[in-house]
Each structure stands twice: as C-alpha cells, then as structure tokens.
Structure 1
Amino acid sequence: MAASWAKLSALPGLSQATVVLRRDDGIDRLVAFLVLESGAVLDRAGLRAALRETLPPYMVPAHFEPMETLPRLTSGKADRKALKIAPLTAAVDTEEQEEPETATEAALLAAAKPLFPGQAIAFDADFFADLGGHSLLAASFLAAVRENPALPSIMLDDIYSLRSLRAIAQRLDERELANPRRQLDLSFTPPPLLRRFFCGLAQLACMPLLLFALTGPWLTIYVAYQVGIEDGSINIGDILMLMGAYMAVTFAISVIGVVGKRIVLWRATPGRYPLWGVYFFRWWLARQLVEFTHLGLMQGTPLAPAVMRLLGAKVGKRVCISGLHAGAIDLLEIGDDVTLGAKISIGNAEVVGNELIIGKVIIGKDAYVGTSCALAHDTIIEQGAELADLTALLPGMRVPAFEHWDGSPGRKVGTVDPAKWPEFAPEPSAPVLALQNLYFSFMVLAMPAISLLPIFPAFYAFDHYDDLLQQIFGLQWYMPFVAWPTAMILMLGTVMLVTAIRWIVLPSAPAGTCSLTSGFYIRKWTVGLAAEVMLESLSSLFSTIYMRSWYRLMGAKIGKDTEIATNFAGRYDTIEIGERCFVADEVTL
C-alpha cells in the first residue's frame, strides 16, 4: 500500500491521497481516497492508466473514492480505521452499465459484478489493467463461473490470456458449439417401496459372504492359533504355518471373487436399468465380488490385466495399469500398449435419478491416460490420444486419434507426435517373465501375511498373561488398558517392519527412467506394495506430527513444520518438501 500511495500522491490534480485495504461484500481490495485540487476533475481511467505504468496490476487500486477532506488522527495521519468503514459512491456516476449481447456475456457479468462492487464493467475492459483485478479476484471469478451449470468449462488460463469478458464469452460459446453438452434431466419418480425392500433384503442376505471376505483371513489366523498352537509357545515354524494359512484363505477368496462375479453377472449389458431392481442387485453384488480379487494390490504388474480379463474386461498386450477403479469392469476395452496412470476412475456405471446407467469405455491402442483422470460411460479414447492428469471426460465424449486433451471437462489442447515417443524397452525372455509373474503373484498373497508379523507378540502376551492378570484383578476390566499399549506396540512394529523392508529391498531409489521388467522396478514395486498393504495399520499416523518423522525414516527429505496426510507409496528418495508446507490426503506425488 505504501508504494501505491507514493505513486498516487505524485500524480497531478490531487491535493491529498491515501490507499486502504478494505473488505467490501466479502472481497478484499485496495481503495484509494482522494482529495482533488481546486477545479480538478476525477478521471478514474486516467489515474488507473498512469499507475499501471509504474505499478504491477495487483497494486493498482480497484476503486477511487473522492472526498472533501480526509479524516485525520490527532497525530495528523490519515484515519485508516474510519476509511475502512466509510461509505463508497458508485465508481461511475453518469455512465450506465453496458448491456450484454449474449446469454454467456450476461452470465459472466453476473459473476464479475460482486467482485467489482460499484463499478460499471465494460465487456471489452481488461480484467486486470482496466478493472483492477488480480490473481485472487481471478480465482474468485473462475469459481463463480464454474458454479453456473449453464456455462461450458472455463480454465484459469482463459482469464489470463483473453482478459475481457467479451473475449471469454466468445471462447466459451465456441466450445459449446464444438462440443455440445447434453443437459441431464435429474428429475425422477422415486422407486417403489416394495422394490427397495426386496433389494435391501437380498443385499442383507449377502452380508455374511461379504463379511467373510473381510474377516476370513483374520479369523483363520485366530482359529489356527487356538487349534494348532497347543503348548502356548510360538516358534518360527508356527508363524510360517499361520502365514501360510492366511495366504491360502486370501487366494481362495480371490478365486471366489472371480468365479462368483462371472456367475452373478457374466458381462454387463450397456443400458438403463431401474434403481433397486433385479439387474441393479446383480450389478451391485458383482462389484462387491470384484473387490474380493485384491486387484488394487496387482496394479503396476502384468497380473492386473490378466485378472481383469478373467473378470470380463478386454485388455490388450503390454498394458500398464498403475491404478483404476471401474463401475463395470467387464465393459472396459483397452488396446495394446496402453498406459494408465494412478487413481483413474472409470465411471461407466452410475446412478442418475431412479436409473442405473451402464456403458462402455474404450481406450484405443497406444493411448495414455494420466493420473487421477475420470472417464464417464460411453467415452472413447482413440489410438495414440493422451489425457493429461486430472482430465475428465463427460458421458459420450470422444477423443480423436493422436490428440492431447486436458481440463475438466476435457478439451483439445494439442496434438501427439508418435515420432517423439521413447523406444520400447527390450523384453526379457519368456522364462524370466514367468519368474517375475510368479514373484508378483507370491508377493500379492504374502505381503498381507507379512504385515501380520507385528501381531504375533500381541497374541503371545494376551495368551500368556491373561490368566495371571485375571487371578490378580478378578474380572477382565483391565483388558482395555492392556489393549492400548498392545496397539501401540503393533503400530511401532509395523513402522519398523515397513522401514526395514524399504531399506533392505530398496536402499537407494535415485531419479531416472527404468524398464517395467527391470530388477529395480520390481524392488520399487515391492516397497510400494508393503506401504500400501500396511497402510491400514498406519492410517492413524496420518495428519499427525509422527507422519513427518516416519517419512524421514523412509528416506524422504521433509522440512520443519510440514504437515503430510498422504501415502507416498514407495517414492521416498525422490521427494523433497520444504518448510511449513501442507500435503493433503489423496495427493499423488
């Protein structure tokens, strides 16, 4: 404000001036209070233009308020508190607001008016240079426009590059013509109560099976411990036996998931189905059975495409899937040499109103889909096309071959040149690939069992000291007090186990490029799998001061007072975060 006041005071025609940061209608902005020289006329546009020559846009006052005299303190300085609450006159006394020429201009004007109260907004005026906007106002304007469902997608870059409401409106209208949006009718008739009742009854009948999938491996450990450990002592052989039982049950549940899904719903049929109806129930149960397969643990390996084929999806050769979740996995078609990033949402089954809508998602050969993209039903990505991270495709959208799309909803931002693609890494021999797949399969089953190692000391403590404590204290009222330190020991043991796996399996992970069939990648995947599997035990560390210490222990460089609430999933050596940063949950690094 001092720089703004100094430059403003030096302009001709002003007797006195001061600049105050005040909040009007929820908007923080700079307001200049002026006392004009005798005979001078206030020229707001001229003042703003003169200040633009020497000040950055965010330091140019958004409003110029003429006054007879400035309120003063006893010290002679301007009374800023009084100026912060002083009423403001309209920015333009004689000029009326320009009328919009299109509905889009009217909508943009409605979004901009609250940001520039008391001002007449010319549609050809520069958002920053003429209206006095800045980065915070641009972000507020962007949010206000996006709240209007009648407008096409707008990007922050549109505001900075086009700068006027008229130019932005023309760009939005062009997008609407190039890619018309279908307006969804969200009105619906509620499903019959009887249909809801019978569907709920059927879902209730399935709950024992679903609970078994969640608790079966744990119950197996407990029962095997009670039955197989007769003398009350645990040795290495007993631990291996219990872990083997856990792995066997986990594998059996995965087989039940694949077979059960194909029995319940061999392959979904695209269409619209009544909510809570028979087909809806079959689709719901099939989705639950898909979760039995532990597909999430197979991401980043050839196992994921193989299991997806067993579940009904059409997946080509040499497909790399880092992580996806599909509403109807059997209606997913993926061509050869496709790369899918992490946390991709395939929304090809959704409930709208009183209907379940199911459709295909087709991803052509050589396509690339970035991290955290969302693909709705009936979308097509043609050969060689690329979606940038966080891109969203609405129902029915098609990405033409070799086009690069970005945004939400997505739009074309460039083209793809296949000549610039890197060469394929040489593939190992068939026996080596078979051994790698065998290793991946074993680790998907073994890592959840390995994560149980810290629980065996708890088993031993409860089994050996329960009778003694009961004799001393009588009733088992002490159990919650014993469980608390036991849980702390379990968490500490899990932290030490993951840390040991990280430094033993992957002592160093420098930045660079590696083949998906290399030994380095397999070791990196193993560390990521360990962190993912043990995330359930360590979830209570998230958003605590201990998370930072644990990641430092794992090799990440994290500054002082930095808060972290996300899973780095094996990427530690290449992460460096400065001081006083915040990394929220679900952030992908």
Structure 2
Amino acid sequence: AKMYLTGDLGRFDSESNLEFLGRADGQVKLRGFRIELSEIESVMMQYQDVLVAACTVREDMKDIQQLVGYVIARNGKVDVSGLRSHLQDRLPAFMVPSLIEIIKEIPRLPSGKLDRASLPAPQARYDKLQSAKLPRNDTERHIANVWQALFQPQVVSIDDNFFLDLGGHSLLAARMVSELRKDARFAQISIGDVYEYPTIESLAPVFDVMSSHPQQLHQIKSKTIPEDILPSKLEQNLVKIIQVASLYHVFGFRAVEWMTPYLVFFFLLAHNYSILGAITWSAISAIAVFPLLLAIAIASKWLILGRIRPGRYPLWGRYHLRWWFVQTLVSSLPLDYLAGTPLLPFIYRLFGAKIGKDVYLGTNNIASFDLTTIGNGTSIDDDASLLGYIVEDGTLILGQVSIGSRCYVGSRSVLRENTVMEDRARLEDLSLLPRGFCIHQGESWAGSPARCTSYSKDIPAPPELGKIHRVAISIIYGTLALLFPLLLLVTVLPGVVFLVSINPVTQPFLYIPSVMAVGGSFVVFLASEVLLIKWLVVGRVRAGKYPVHGSYYIRNWIVEQLLAFSLDLIAPLHATLYLAPWYRLLGAKIGRNVELSTAS
C-alpha cells in the first residue's frame, strides 16, 4: 500500500486502521482545481463594503457544483457588482464565486469556527429585478429561459455576461448548449459561440441571421415509422437469429486472411513437401488472399444489397439485415491500410461510389457507397467520416454525401447524411457538417456544428497527373499492398519452422516453453523489422513539403503502414516502459520518465 501527503487530517485507531477526519485546512476541489477558501474570504474582506465573508461549494442543482460567497455588509449595503469586479481583478477565474449572497449572520460551530455546512442556500436577488433588461423577442426569451434555469435563483438580464456576471463556467456552458440544441433554431450552437457571444443580447442575433438565411437542403421530417410497416416481433426475432448465424461467416471471412498461409504451410508439410516449398506456397497464398476477399465482398454487395438508395428503413427489417451483413463484411477488409493511396478510391468505385480523378482519400469511413460523390482533385484527410447513414428512432436513415471538385475535408471531420460541399469548399479539422446542410462554393466552415468562417475565391488547383503517371503509381501501390503480408510472414516463419523441428509427443518439455519463446520472438522480429525498414527506406525525417505520391511520400507511407501493423499486432507493447525506448530508436526525441500509449 502507498500513502500520500494530501493535507488531510487522520489518525490510527486501536486496530491500526487509518481513520479519515477531514481536511486540515479550508481547501476544496472544484472542476479539477484545488481552491483555498480562506484565500477567497480574505480578498472579499478587503472590499470596503464587506465586514465578514465566508465561502463554500454548493450543489443545489444535480451534478453542478458552484462556488458561493457570503458577506455581511459593513454599513447595511454591499455593491455586489463592485465586489465581483474586485474579486476578478485579484483572483483567477476559477476562484471567483458564481453567486454572492448578503446575509446577516455567519453560522458558527460551538468551538467558534465557521460552520460552512450551515450556510444558507442562495436566494433570489429581487433588487436586481428592477434593473434587469428583459428579453425583447422570442429568440432572446428562449435563451433567457435556459439561462434562468441554470443560474436560479439569480435574476438573469440579457446584458449579463455568462461568465463574468453570472459566474458561469465550461460545464454550465456545455449544459446550456445541450439544452438550446433541443430547439431546431439552435441546432448549430457550439460552446465556442458562448465564449464569443457571452451575453443573451449578443448571442441571439447570431441565430436570427441563421434563421433568415437557412443553409439546409431538406430535413427528413418524419421522426418515426408508421406502425403498419414496422417488422413484427416474429420478424425481428428471426432477423436476430439470422444475424447470429451470419457472424460465423463474417468471422470466418476475417480469419481467412490469417489462417490461409498457416494452413497451406502445414498442409504441404503433411504431404511431404520440403520446408522451402511449403514456405513458398504459403507466401503465395498470403499474397492471393486479399484480392480474393475483396472480390467476395464486392460480389456480396451487389448480389445481396444491390444499389443503395436513400430513404428510411425499419431497424431489424429485411433491408436492414442485408445492409448490416454487407457492412460487416466490408468492415472486415483491411482497407484502412490503403488509406492515402490511389487504390482506395478505385476500390470504392467498385462498390458503387462516384469518385473523380486525383482524389486523396485518407479515410475508409465510407458506408453508403452509391450515395457518395467526390469530385476531381478533392482531399479527404485522415479519419474523416462520410458514412451517409444513421440509426435513429428505430430507423436506418440513408442519405447522400456530395463533395465537389477541389474540396478539402479535415482530419476527423464528419459529414452527416444529406450534406453537400460545392466546388472549392472546405470543412476544417474536427468539424461537423449537420444533416441537410450545404457549404457553398469557396466557403470554409469550421466547428461542431460547423459554420462559415471565411471565403476564398482563388484556391490553387492541384497538379493533374498524366494517365501513364497515374497508372504507374497505382501499380506501385498495388504491388506494395500485395507484398505487405510477406513482411509479416517473415517475422512469424522463423518461430514456426523452429516449432516444426520439435516433436511435441517425444519432446513435450521442450515444445511447451518453445511455444512461449516463439511468441516473444515475433514481437522482437516485428519491432526489429520496422526499425530496419524505417532507417533503410526513409532515414531521418526532415520537415518540409513533399508531393503526394512522390518518392518520399511512398517511402514514408510504407513505414506508416508498418507502424500501424505493429500497433495492431503487438498492442500489449504500447503503454509500457518499452515503448519510449523503441520510439527513440525510430528517431523520436523523448525525454526521461515519459509515459507513451499509442502515439503515432
């Protein structure tokens, strides 16, 4: 067991148990900050109108803790706004009380010490009611109602600053945004808006403008499916049984990639092939597996699901079952390793997606293939989501995702179903384009939900690749993708060949520890292979701009895929003491006592 110096009071009882007695001081923890209440009280008492002050943390609303200050007036009256300004000038924001209450007496314990637990609940300040500016329209009124519920019993004025006047903080802002989004008028509000427009009178006009200039194409109005077309209980249970049975096919489909080389090797050994011959055919089978699985997945999509059409389909219905099976099958393919290559757009075209020339596709998060359109020269960055579907209210909703030419979609951004990006439009990193919205030509949007942040008329066109160049690059990537399984096979084969040389029947005491040693050797061989190829193929990485699909890009892509393989296959190595030394060997500059998990 470990003991830490925390500033708490404690004692050992007669049975040597440690008994916790509470803090030795007035320190509390609020939203991750340690706060000394006596420091706040001292600053409050420096204000000319304050005779005595006290502070405590209250939770009058569920899951929302607030710092409340209590004062006794020196001459019967305290200028609360002046006191708040006094505190804001001398204390960090997290130490300024959200509420300041004027009371007549400070409760105390029999010992004479302050009794914080007996401090009264905050009361409404009716003196502010006379000076408060009331909402002037429906938008302000709706925002004010939400704020009033959060800051009760305070009286909210439309010119009150959410943070400075009302004592709001990030958790309250998040709750307020969540409440406002329940109204369609405020579907685009983000926490950033609250910081940019911290008063009701500044925030409301933003949404009045949005309402008068809607960007929405068309919302799917009906929220539920009529009862008469919902599948019956019998049909739903039948679908679930079929899904369970289908999982055996899906798991088998995924296992083929790894089991085929292994089975081929031992099958040929059992039929008197030499070890070299068995290894050769095992390697050939490893190369052939991915094209075979890809062909099966493409055929399954067209035979089982056909062309995907936009619409609403009941969950656990026949269409949903076919959709689920095809999506599960496709997700079993290792397409993420082809991200950033010309092969991925080509494969998605085979599934039905309409993708133009010279498209950079850094994500495999595409599901509604036939409903996805991407124009020439567009760049879709890593982990962007263009799924084109959502399951909502017992319904599978499928919609189009249309992206024009020379567009940009940032890393980990999301385009919901029924969205459009016109030519030369941009959606910045970590942004969400809500359902039914359109980014017009040349606009740049950012945020979650996204909104227009800038406009550019002149966006340089990417250099077009000639047909021969395009074919040559595709052949290079295709060859590398087929050879990647061999790099993994090389790390496994030494251990397998060694185990084959041991007879488990006659040498059981040698075979059992050898199996464990072979598992460890795979980790060592794979890590060593990544190191060797990194330094031979890429060398030392230097900052700069490099053309996509140029020599350096392709070499760097090889190393990135090997690192991704290592993350998948030797995941237990990550978040251990061994990861930092390994990254240092790869060239990263990492100091002492650094803890790493899954850095890439």
The question of a shared fold, defined as TM-score above 0.5 by the shorter chain, is answered with: yes
Whether contact under 8 Å (1:258, 1:289) holds in the other structure is no
SS at match of 2:125: coil
SS at match of 1:454: helix
The 5-angstrom pairing of residues 153-168 of structure 1 reads 153-168=188-203
In the alignment, what sits opposite 1:452?
489
In the alignment, what sits opposite 2:13?
none
In the alignment, what sits opposite 2:350?
310
Whether contact under 8 Å (2:162, 2:168) holds in the other structure is yes
After TM superposition, give the deviation of residue 151 of structure 1 in Å: 4.0
- Of 462, 469, 489, the match for 1:424: 462
Whether contact under 8 Å (2:107, 2:118) holds in the other structure is no
Deviates more, 1:140-149 or 1:397-406: 140-149
Deviates more, 1:407-416 or 1:336-345: 407-416
In the alignment, what sits opposite 2:14?
none
In the alignment, what sits opposite 1:583?
none
After TM superposition, give the deviation of residue 339 of structure 1 in Å: 0.7
1:40 equivalenced with 2:76 (yes/no): yes
In the alignment, what sits opposite 2:99?
63
SS at match of 2:166: coil
In the alignment, what sits opposite 1:86?
119
Whether contact under 8 Å (2:418, 2:436) holds in the other structure is yes
The 5-angstrom pairing of residues 356-395 of structure 1 reads 356-395=396-435
1:521 equivalenced with 2:561 (yes/no): no
The 1:73/1:261 distance shift into structure 2, 3 A limit, reads: closer
What is the rounded CA distance, in whole Å, between the counterparts of 2:259 and 2:50 in structure 1?
A: 83
After TM superposition, give the deviation of residue 355 of structure 1 in Å: 4.0
Aligned residues: 556
- Of 523, 534, 552, the match for 1:491: 523
The 1:136/1:217 distance shift into structure 2, 3 A limit, reads: closer
- What is the identity, as a one-letter code, of the residue corresponding to 1:463? V
In the alignment, what sits opposite 1:571?
none
CA displacement, residues 531-559 of structure 1 (integer Å, 9 cap, x when unaligned): 22343312333444444444333333445
The 5-angstrom pairing of residues 49-128 of structure 1 reads 49-52=85-88, 57-68=93-104, 79=113, 82-83=115-116, 85-90=118-123, 92-96=125-129, 105=140, 108-109=143-144, 111-113=146-148, 116-128=151-163
The 1:491/1:49 distance shift into structure 2, 3 A limit, reads: same
What is the rounded CA distance, in whole Å, between the counterparts of 1:228 and 1:27 in structure 2?
A: 67
The 1:135/1:208 distance shift into structure 2, 3 A limit, reads: closer
Whether contact under 8 Å (1:33, 1:66) holds in the other structure is yes
1:507 equivalenced with 2:539 (yes/no): yes
What's the RMSD between the two structures over aligned residues? 3.7
The 1:409/1:63 distance shift into structure 2, 3 A limit, reads: closer
What is the rounded CA distance, in whole Å, between the counterparts of 1:8 and 1:153 in structure 2?
A: 40
1:9 equivalenced with 2:45 (yes/no): yes
SS at match of 1:452: helix
The 5-angstrom pairing of residues 124-203 of structure 1 reads 124-135=159-170, 137-139=172-174, 141-142=176-177, 145=180, 151-179=186-214, 185-186=223-224, 189=227, 190-200=230-240, 203=243
1:398 equivalenced with 2:434 (yes/no): no
What is the rounded CA distance, in whole Å, between the counterparts of 1:58 and 1:351 in structure 2?
A: 40
- What is the identity, as a one-letter code, of the residue corresponding to 2:381? G
Whether contact under 8 Å (2:88, 2:96) holds in the other structure is yes
- What is the identity, as a one-letter code, of the residue corresponding to 2:533? I
| Structure 2 residue ranges without an equivalent (≥5) | 1-35
What is the rounded CA distance, in whole Å, between the counterparts of 2:178 and 2:429 in structure 1?
A: 20
What is the rounded CA distance, in whole Å, between the counterparts of 1:559 and 1:374 in structure 2?
A: 35
CA displacement, residues 84-136 of structure 1 (integer Å, 9 cap, x when unaligned): 65224425155559776666556544554565454222222122332233456
In the alignment, what sits opposite 1:586?
none
1:214 equivalenced with 2:254 (yes/no): yes
What is the rounded CA distance, in whole Å, between the counterparts of 2:283 and 2:69 in structure 1?
A: 73
What is the rounded CA distance, in whole Å, between the counterparts of 1:509 and 1:346 in structure 2?
A: 31
SS at match of 2:494: helix
Whether contact under 8 Å (1:104, 1:151) holds in the other structure is no
Q: In percent, how many aligned pairs have the same letter?
A: 28
- Of 515, 532, 537, the match for 2:564: 532
The 1:400/1:461 distance shift into structure 2, 3 A limit, reads: same
SS at match of 1:465: coil
CA displacement, residues 151-183 of structure 1 (integer Å, 9 cap, x when unaligned): 423222322222113432443344345436666
After TM superposition, give the deviation of residue 341 of structure 1 in Å: 0.9
After TM superposition, give the deviation of residue 470 of structure 1 in Å: 5.6
Q: TM-score, normalised by structure 2?
A: 0.80
CA displacement, residues 486-530 of structure 1 (integer Å, 9 cap, x when unaligned): 433323332222232222222222222110131110011111121
What is the rounded CA distance, in whole Å, between the counterparts of 1:333 and 1:218 in structure 2?
A: 34
Whether contact under 8 Å (2:50, 2:72) holds in the other structure is yes
SS at match of 2:584: helix
Whether contact under 8 Å (2:335, 2:364) holds in the other structure is no
The 1:85/1:138 distance shift into structure 2, 3 A limit, reads: farther
The 1:73/1:506 distance shift into structure 2, 3 A limit, reads: farther
- What is the identity, as a one-letter code, of the residue corresponding to 1:121? V
Deviates more, 1:268-277 or 1:525-534: 268-277
In the alignment, what sits opposite 1:299?
339
What is the rounded CA distance, in whole Å, between the counterparts of 1:89 and 1:276 in structure 2?
A: 51
- What is the identity, as a one-letter code, of the residue corresponding to 1:513? K
What is the rounded CA distance, in whole Å, between the counterparts of 2:584 and 2:135 in structure 1?
A: 57
